[in-house]
């Protein structure tokens, strides 16, 4: 019989139906809500469901704006999925938390001791306390790591566990996470958002703060540094933006003040790990890794991995770098271990296990195997190794043939399987479609070794299934997250994340090293952004001309339109486009124009460049200020929602182009006002200047470098001035006289005009001059020499000479030559910059004899 | 018997390599019937960082890094080894049946309980070689192929002799067929391969029946054909397998030559399969296309 409560309100909490035999967080097994829930629910009910829905949406908006995402594998089209947050948190009383906290600390201690033994003396195996097959048969046991644990008080720096409450009301551990536990960043972000959307309720409820945990995490990582204990360099090693929890990697790096790196950003030399930064190699002391351990060193482990650092394990062996968690710690995620933990706890800690694990039978033992085979129908069967196509099955849901196959597999290699009890997790209230409903929940906790003890985050990441009665709670399956409120007896003072200096001092400004990968991405953010801007402005000019041509049916308008259409193809590089096309396309270009705006699959289209801009910016998510990220998100989202996802004609396109320009201006304004003029800015702005120069040249080459008759010439000149946002300034300077030499002077040579070629080259020269670079013996680096040549050639040119018509070829050959030469130099410049500064791009290869030579 | 082994690997790159890290298992280990008197590397360009250690399986490993730009790398290992004669007639060995060994490996406690209170390092080690390894997954096909050799109550030594002979007869030696990446299933299906594949197959057959077997990398001395001069550098790496027999220890079998290694086999290293004992591997940054040439010379000194 469902348990119903008696509160009447519009949220339907009176219909909150718990299930018989399943524990509910709010009601326990009683008919009345637990006191701490009662107060909280009363506050929610006072608010009403409409208001709560508004708060929920506000939370989603904040999360989206902050760029909180969870990537779903195999979903390249729609790479990031917004993080979902339910406004009803999980409440845990302080009495109960004390029990959970003690249990987690004990378990972390136990795991640490097991790890130390397995990669050290292996006495647990030798004494028969753990079967050798369970360890040596698990993919997480990495042979090269034996004997490679550093001298530290604790080896397992990070520990995480998934908890759920069983029918008897006790908390059970479902599984242990020791490889590279994820979720703490999401938990922090959930909390940040909750305090903004439910500020009153949060304030009235005495909730334990999370900042202490992150402080402990910072300290814990400093603790394990083998060198530079005063100020170690700590990096967060991520597999990259395609990883499911990339947001969190970037977020934690930014929150904790660490450098976010990928494998290619690091290198091993002289037995140390170094960060490849724009300013040269910088020693790394600690790696917080989010790359699976077997991928971390292609030399000694998976040779095909491009995510790691060759030689890393050798550096670990020599004690010159600390990794949290150590390589090899995924052995502790072996679910077969659960069956042995009570015994190991007695042996290693002389204590009973405080938090029980879910009942587990390892099939490597005869009695346990027989039990599992006899009870296949009522158990969950899991292989101890997680891999593709190799996952847990509910025995009862198998057909007879499948069951027989599973039985055969277990008998053939019993040590690779476990049986587990099917547990009914507890339910808790969730706000689903304007109603409070009961959902099954799993709580992930986080523990970090810091100072002399393990510190547990008072809170965690609670996840519920979207569907009712669904026990599979996972982010990949589209679950919803919740904040977790551990109630305090007394108000908990928030702890600042800032480190307290021991005495007042003026620290040297340690400018954060810019990794070559970040430099690369910044450069491309600038280039893509400028491509978007140049295309947008030209397209806008073109649509205006198209309207005039249709309205006035003047042949000059039509001719000018044709020039602009061909120019658009040249500027965007979308050949053949309007170059060498049928007249019919020039007369009715609307369809092609829409494709060039909308189609993300068309290289050079606006959408393609907007997406490339967004991706490059996402790759360095940790470098942007909050507001800057919001402006990036705005540009992408509005374009996607208002142009890409809808049917629209060229008329509506015009308005959206204006909107896009506004978005770009917001971004450029924010970056100009908030970025320090250091390497990051130099890279971003160099990318912009380079691309703006190239776009301007492409525009001029297909418009003004061609000779036109007088009336057409005037129209083309005007269009070029509009497309370069230079019409107003031209008019102010030269009044109503529209002439080629003056337009060229303004657009090519005027160094005071931020859209002129000379301005771009001058800025590039200045930026490149201050980039860190060893020049060798020559006074100028190669990139300095190239940009100097381009700049000097331009300054030395004479406009009147450029437009001498030497033959009847229909072009101004000297102008064309200057522009073509400058293009070549700029392309070369981009190559040289990439080779000099983006060293992470160098790929590694495995050298091994592939064919076995042999003899008889 | 005394040998001088010169194992030389030449890498040539189309573009400069700025940095490479390498791991070499090219120095022979000391074993019951073999002593490595002396062993050293000659590497060009000279590595600024070179460190030797012993790996999990007890093999000698050298880590070295070349940190200056280069377009060519030569790694030469020179070792003097004495190989002592081994007992080689089957009747000298234990007559314990394969079923008894299987049960013994599976059931014997490592220590602590029952009569056998002493921890047995041999058993602990042997057990690790019963399990699947990355390059040797045990499939029903393997077990089926092996079945003919596993006659009930046959002494294990006889089983392995029979198995070795069958692999020798059933499979064609064909260097053009396999690379180090060829899966065992293909070797079994097409009945072709080289020494490494035959060693893997032998190990797979034994493990399929719950026995302990490991992979040996090494060299074999080749004798010139009668009347012809010995060719320097024409030898090559070789591989075979070893099986664990209680009270006797590990016994080597060479299925490529259908023989039990005697004084002409020189052991370099052992592990669960080839991946554990790759003689030389490296990760290079840059380099474009690379070519690799190996020459091995096994010279008898006395």
Tens digits of residue pLDDT in A788-813? 999 999 999 999 999 987 777 788 99
Whether A132 maps to a domain, the answer reads no
pTM for the structure as a whole: 0.87
List of chain A residues whose C-beta atoms are within 8 Å of the C-beta of residue B276:
143
Instruction: Report chain A's C-alpha Rg in angstroms.
Output: 32
Chain A (141-180) residues lying within 8 Å, Cβ to Cβ, of chain B: 143-144, 146-147
Which is it for the CA torsion B144, B145, B148, B153, positive or negative? Answer: negative
Q: Name, in order, each residue with C-beta under 8 angstroms of A557's C-beta and a sequence gap of 6 or more.
A: A545, A548, A549, A715
- Closest in B57, B138, B175 to A851, CB measured: B175
Please state whether beta strands A322-324 and A286-289 pair in parallel, antiparallel, or not at all (unpaired): parallel
* Pairwise CB contact (< 8 Å): B280 & A849: yes
pLDDT at A603 over 50: yes
Q: For residue A363, what are the β-bridge partners?
A: none
Give me the CATH number covering residue A393. Answer: 3.30.1490.270
pLDDT at A79 over 60: no
Q: In terms of residue numbers, what domain contains A377?
A: 359-421
* Pairwise CB contact (< 8 Å): A855 & B220: yes
* Of A31-45, A588-602, B3-17, minimum mean pLDDT range: A31-45
The ranges assigned to domains in chain B are 2-84+279-300, 90-261
Whether A691 maps to a domain, the answer reads yes
For residues A242 and B55, the model is more confident at: B55
* Pairwise CB contact (< 8 Å): B284 & A133: no
Angle A782-796/A813-837 helices, nearest 10 degrees? 160
Q: What is the pLDDT of residue B233?
A: 66
Mean per-residue pLDDT over chain A, rounded: 89
Q: Using a pLDDT cut of 90, give the percent of chain A over it.
A: 67
Whether A84 maps to a domain, the answer reads no
List of chain B residues whose C-beta atoms are within 8 Å of the C-beta of residue A842:
18, 285-286
Average pLDDT over residues A524-530: 97
* Pairwise CB contact (< 8 Å): B109 & A128: yes
Rounded to an integer, what distance in angstroms lies between the CA atom of residue B58 and that of residue A587?
79
Q: Which two tokens stand for residue A487?
A: 């109630």
Average pLDDT over residues A504-522: 73
A408 contact B CB<8A: no
Average pLDDT over residues B192-210: 95
pLDDT at B115 over 60: no
Rounded to an integer, what distance in angstroms lies between the CA atom of residue A230 and that of residue A342?
40
Q: pLDDT tens digits, residue range A733-762?
A: 888 789 999 999 999 999 999 999 999 999
SS3 content of chain B, % helix, strand, coil (to 5): 25, 40, 35
Whether A285 maps to a domain, the answer reads no
Rounded to an integer, what distance in angstroms lies between the CA atom of residue B194 and that of residue B175?
6
B113 contact A CB<8A: yes
The alpha carbon torsion through B188, B190, B193, B199 (nearest 10 deg) reads 10
Spell out the CATH class of B2-84+279-300: mainly beta
Provide the shortest C-alpha distance from residue B154 to chain A (in Å).
22
| Burial class for A350, CB neighbours closer than 10 Å (0-12, 13-18, 19+) | exposed
Q: What is the pLDDT of residue B71?
A: 93
Rounded to an integer, what distance in angstroms lies between the CA atom of residue B207 and that of residue A632?
58
Rounded to an integer, what distance in angstroms lies between the CA atom of residue A241 and that of residue A264?
14
Q: Which two tokens stand for residue A464?
A: 């519920």
- Closest in A267, A299, A847 to B290, CB measured: A847
User: If DSSP codes are grouped into helix, strand and coil, which group holds residue A211?
Assistant: helix
Q: For residue A576, what are the β-bridge partners?
A: none
pLDDT at A843 over 50: yes
- Closest in B57, B112, B257 to A128, CB measured: B112
- Closest in B21, B220, B256 to A299, CB measured: B21
Residue A210 contacts residue A457 (beta carbons within 8 Å): yes
Residue A410 contacts residue A121 (beta carbons within 8 Å): no
Average pLDDT over residues A516-531: 95
List of chain A residues whose C-beta atoms are within 8 Å of the C-beta of residue B19:
267, 269
pLDDT at A280 over 90: no
SS3 per-residue string spanning A670-732: HHHHHCCCCHHHHHHHHHHHHHHHHHHHHHHHHCCCECCCHHHHHHHHHHHHHHCCCHHHHHH
* Pairwise CB contact (< 8 Å): B23 & A852: no
Rounded to an integer, what distance in angstroms lies between the CA atom of residue B3 and that of residue B146?
36
Rounded to an integer, what distance in angstroms lies between the CA atom of residue B263 and that of residue B292?
30
List of chain B residues whose C-beta atoms are within 8 Å of the C-beta of residue A311:
21, 63, 65, 283
Whether A790 maps to a domain, the answer reads yes
Chain B (81-100) residues lying within 8 Å, Cβ to Cβ, of chain A: none
CATH of domain B90-261: 3.10.620.30
- Closest in A128, A850, A856 to B110, CB measured: A128
For residues A736 and A829, the model is more confident at: A829
pLDDT at A502 over 60: no
| Burial class for A150, CB neighbours closer than 10 Å (0-12, 13-18, 19+) | middle
Q: Name, in order, each residue with C-beta under 8 angstroms of A691's C-beta and a sequence gap of 6 or more.
A: A526, A527, A528, A529, A530, A531, A534
Longest CA–CA separation in chain B, Å: 65
Provide the shortest C-alpha distance from residue A712 to chain B (in Å).
52
Rounded to an integer, what distance in angstroms lies between the CA atom of residue B151 and that of residue B159?
8
* Pairwise CB contact (< 8 Å): A125 & B294: no
Whether A151 maps to a domain, the answer reads no
User: Nearest chain A Cα to B179, which residue?
Assistant: A851
Average pLDDT over residues A333-351: 97
Rounded to an integer, what distance in angstroms lies between the CA atom of residue A77 and that of residue A71?
11
Provide the shortest C-alpha distance from residue A345 to chain B (in Å).
19
Confidence tier at A611 by pLDDT (50, 70, 90): very high
Residue among A557, A618, A608, A607 nearest A586 (CA): A557
B180 contact A CB<8A: yes
Provide the shortest C-alpha distance from residue A267 to chain B (in Å).
9
Q: Which two tokens stand for residue A436?
A: 């409070």
User: Nearest chain B Cα to A366, which residue?
Assistant: B107
In terms of phi and psi (left: phi > 0; alpha: psi -120 to 50; beta: otherwise), the region of A122 is left
pLDDT at A471 over 90: no
* Pairwise CB contact (< 8 Å): B127 & A132: yes
* Pairwise CB contact (< 8 Å): A143 & B48: no
SS3 per-residue string spanning A494-515: CCCCCCCCCCCCCCCCCCCCCE
Q: pLDDT tens digits, residue range B68-107?
A: 889 999 999 999 999 998 776 655 677 899 999 999 998 8
User: If DSSP codes are grouped into helix, strand and coil, which group holds residue A43?
Assistant: helix
| Burial class for A356, CB neighbours closer than 10 Å (0-12, 13-18, 19+) | middle
Q: Which two tokens stand for residue B37?
A: 């008197």
**Beta carbons within 10 angstroms of residue B152's beta carbon:** 7
Q: Tell me how far CA of residue A621 lies from CA of A243, A475, B246, in angstroms.
A: 13, 21, 60
Q: Tell me how far CA of residue A558 lies from CA of A561, A570, A584, A588, A740, in angstroms.
A: 5, 19, 12, 11, 21
Q: What is the pLDDT of residue A1?
A: 37
Q: pLDDT tens digits, residue range A627-680?
A: 999 999 999 999 999 999 999 998 899 999 999 999 999 999 999 998 988 889
For residues B79 and A204, the model is more confident at: B79
A267 contact B CB<8A: yes
* Pairwise CB contact (< 8 Å): A849 & B131: no
Residue among A759, A744, A792 nearest A692 (CA): A759
B101 contact A CB<8A: no
List of chain A residues whose C-beta atoms are within 8 Å of the C-beta of residue B11:
847
Rounded to an integer, what distance in angstroms lies between the CA atom of residue B74 and that of residue A180?
39
User: If DSSP codes are grouped into helix, strand and coil, which group holds residue A758?
Assistant: helix
User: Burial letters for B63-91: b for 16+ Cβ neighbours within 10 Å, e otherwise?
Assistant: bbbbbeebeebebbbbbbbbbeebeeeee
| Number of domains, chain A | 2
**Beta carbons within 10 angstroms of residue A368's beta carbon:** 17
Q: What is the pLDDT of residue A496?
A: 64
φ/ψ of A448, rounded to 5, equals -135, 140
Rounded to an integer, what distance in angstroms lies between the CA atom of residue B253 and that of residue B241?
6
Q: Tell me how far CA of residue A35 lies from CA of A13, A41, A95, A668, in angstroms.
A: 16, 10, 13, 53
**DSSP symbols for B95-143:** --BHHHHHHHHHH--SSSSSS--S--HHHHHHHHTTS-BTTB---HHHH
- Indicate whether this complex's ipTM tops 0.90: yes
User: If DSSP codes are grouped into helix, strand and coil, which group holds residue A406?
Assistant: helix
Q: For residue A445, what are the β-bridge partners?
A: A161
A314 contact B CB<8A: yes
Residue among A586, A494, A603 nearest A549 (CA): A586
B10 contact A CB<8A: no
Chain B (223-242) residues lying within 8 Å, Cβ to Cβ, of chain A: 235-239
């Amino acid at each position: 019989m469902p348990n119903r409560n008696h509160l009447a309100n519009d949220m339907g909490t009176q219909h909150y139906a718990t299930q018989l035999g399943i524990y509910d967080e709010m009601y326990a097994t009683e008919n009345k809500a637990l006191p701490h829930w009662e107060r909280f629910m009363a506050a929610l009910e006072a608010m009403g469901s409409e208001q709560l829905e508004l708060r929920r949406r506000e939370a989603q908006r904040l999360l989206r704006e902050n760029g909180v995402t969870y990537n779903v594998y195999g979903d390249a089209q729609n790479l990031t999925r917004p993080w979902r947050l339910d406004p009803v948190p999980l409440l845990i009383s302080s009495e109960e938390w004390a029990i959970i906290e003690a249990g987690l600390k004990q378990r972390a201690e136990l795991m640490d001791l097991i790890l130390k033994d397995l990669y050290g003396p292996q006495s647990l195996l030798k004494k028969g306390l753990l079967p050798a097959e369970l360890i040596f048969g698990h993919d997480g046991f990495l042979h090269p790591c034996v004997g490679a644990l550093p001298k530290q008080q604790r080896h397992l720096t990070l520990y995480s566990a998934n908890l759920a409450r069983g029918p008897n009301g006790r908390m059970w551990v479902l599984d242990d996470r020791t490889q590279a536990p994820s979720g703490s960043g999401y938990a922090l972000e959930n909390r940040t958002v909750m305090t903004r959307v439910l500020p009153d309720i949060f304030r009235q409820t005495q909730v334990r703060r999370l900042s202490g945990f992150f402080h402990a995490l910072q300290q814990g990582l400093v603790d394990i540094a083998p060198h530079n204990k005063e100020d170690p360099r700590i990096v967060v090693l991520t597999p990259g933006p395609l990883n499911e929890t990339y947001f969190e990697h970037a977020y934690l790096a930014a929150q904790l003040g660490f450098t976010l790196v990928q494998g290619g950003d690091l290198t091993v030399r002289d037995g140390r790990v170094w960060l490849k930064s724009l300013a040269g190699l910088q020693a790394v002391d600690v790696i917080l890794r989010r790359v699976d351990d077997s991928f971390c060193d292609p030399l000694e482990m998976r040779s095909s991995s491009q995510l790691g650092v060759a030689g890393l394990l050798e550096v670990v062996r020599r004690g010159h770098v600390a990794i949290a968690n150590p390589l090899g710690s995924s052995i502790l995620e072996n679910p077969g271990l659960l069956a042995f933990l009570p015994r190991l706890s007695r042996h290693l800690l002389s204590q009973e296990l405080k938090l029980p694990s879910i009942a587990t039978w390892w099939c490597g033992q005869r009695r346990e195997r027989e039990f599992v085979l006899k009870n296949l129908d009522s158990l969950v069967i899991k292989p101890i190794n997680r891999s593709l196509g190799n996952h847990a099955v509910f025995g009862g849901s198998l057909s007879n043939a499948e069951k027989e196959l599973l039985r055969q597999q277990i008998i053939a290699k019993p040590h690779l399987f476990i049986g587990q009890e099917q547990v009914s997790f507890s339910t808790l209230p969730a706000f689903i479609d304007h109603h409070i409903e009961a959902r099954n929940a799993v709580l992930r906790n986080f523990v970090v070794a810091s100072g002399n003890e393990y510190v547990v985050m008072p809170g965690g990441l609670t996840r519920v299934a979207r569907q009712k009665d669904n026990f599979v709670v996972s982010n990949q399956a589209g679950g919803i997250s919740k904040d977790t409120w551990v109630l305090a007896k007394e108000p908990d003072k928030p702890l600042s994340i800032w480190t307290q200096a021991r005495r007042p001092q003026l620290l040297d400004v340690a400018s954060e090293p810019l990794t070559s990968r970040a430099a690369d991405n910044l450069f491309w953010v600038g280039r893509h952004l400028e491509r978007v801007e140049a295309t947008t402005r030209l397209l806008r000019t073109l649509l205006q001309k198209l309207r005039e041509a249709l309205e006035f049916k003047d042949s000059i308008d039509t001719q000018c339109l044709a020039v602009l259409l061909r120019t658009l193809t040249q500027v965007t590089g979308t050949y053949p486009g309007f170059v060498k096309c049928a007249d019919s396309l020039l007369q009715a270009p609307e369809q092609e124009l829409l494709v060039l705006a909308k189609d993300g699959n068309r290289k050079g289209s606006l959408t393609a460049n907007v997406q490339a801009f967004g991706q490059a910016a996402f790759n360095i998510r940790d470098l942007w200020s909050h507001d800057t990220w919001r402006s990036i998100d705005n540009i992408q989202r509005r374009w996607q929602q208002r142009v890409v996802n809808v049917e629209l004609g060229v008329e509506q396109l015009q308005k959206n182009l204006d909107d896009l320009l506004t978005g770009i201006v917001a971004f450029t304004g924010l970056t100009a006002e908030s970025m320090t003029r250091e390497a990051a800015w130099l890279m971003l702005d160099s990318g912009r200047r380079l691309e703006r120069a190239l776009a301007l040249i492409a525009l001029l080459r297909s418009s003004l470098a061609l000779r036109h008759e007088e009336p057409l010439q005037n129209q083309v000149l005007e269009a070029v001035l509009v497309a370069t946002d230079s019409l107003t300034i031209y008019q102010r300077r030269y009044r109503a006289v529209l002439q080629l030499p003056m337009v060229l002077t303004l657009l090519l040579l005027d160094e005071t005009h931020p859209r002129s070629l000379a301005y771009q080259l001058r800025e590039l020269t200045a930026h490149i001059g201050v980039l860190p670079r060893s020049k060798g013996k020559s006074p100028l680096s190669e990139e300095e020499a190239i940009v100097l040549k381009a700049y000097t050639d331009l300054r030395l040119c004479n406009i009147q000479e450029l437009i001498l018509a030497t033959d009847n070829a229909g072009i101004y050959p000297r102008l064309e030559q200057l522009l073509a030469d400058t293009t070549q130099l700029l392309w070369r410049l981009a190559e040289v910059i990439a080779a000099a500064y983006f060293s992470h791009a160098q790929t590694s290869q495995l050298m091994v004899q592939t064919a076995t030579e042999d003899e008889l | 018997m005394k040998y001088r082994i010169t194992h030389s690997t030449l890498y040539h790159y189309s573009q400069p390599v700025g940095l490479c890290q390498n791991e070499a298992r090219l120095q022979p280990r000391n074993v019951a019937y073999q002593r490595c008197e002396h062993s050293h590397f000659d590497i060009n360009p000279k590595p600024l960082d070179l460190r030797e250690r012993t790996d999990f399986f007890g093999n000698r490993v050298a880590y070295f890094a070349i940190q200056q730009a280069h377009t060519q790398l030569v790694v030469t290992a020179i070792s003097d080894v004495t190989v002592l004669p081994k007992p080689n007639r089957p009747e000298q060995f234990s007559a314990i049946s394969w079923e008894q060994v299987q049960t013994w490996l599976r059931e014997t406690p490592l220590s602590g309980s029952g009569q056998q209170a002493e921890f047995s390092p041999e058993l602990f080690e042997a057990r690790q070689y019963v399990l699947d390894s990355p390059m040797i997954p045990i499939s029903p096909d393997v077990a089926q192929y092996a079945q003919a050799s596993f006659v009930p109550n046959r002494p294990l030594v006889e089983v392995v002799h029979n198995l070795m002979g069958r692999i020798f007869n059933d499979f064609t030696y064909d260097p053009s067929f396999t690379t180090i990446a060829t899966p065992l299933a293909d070797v079994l299906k097409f009945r072709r391969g080289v020494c490494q594949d035959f060693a893997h197959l032998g190990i797979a057959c034994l493990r399929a029946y719950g026995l302990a077997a490991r992979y040996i990398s090494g060299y074999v001395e080749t004798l010139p054909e009668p009347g012809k001069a010995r060719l320097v550098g024409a030898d090559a790496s070789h591989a075979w397998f070893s099986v664990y027999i209680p009270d006797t220890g590990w016994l080597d079998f060479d299925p490529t030559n259908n023989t039990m290694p005697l004084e002409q086999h020189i052991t370099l290293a052992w592990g669960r399969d080839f991946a554990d004992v790759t003689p030389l591997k490296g990760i290079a940054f840059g380099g474009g296309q690379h070519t690799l040439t190996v020459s091995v010379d096994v010279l008898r000194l006395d």
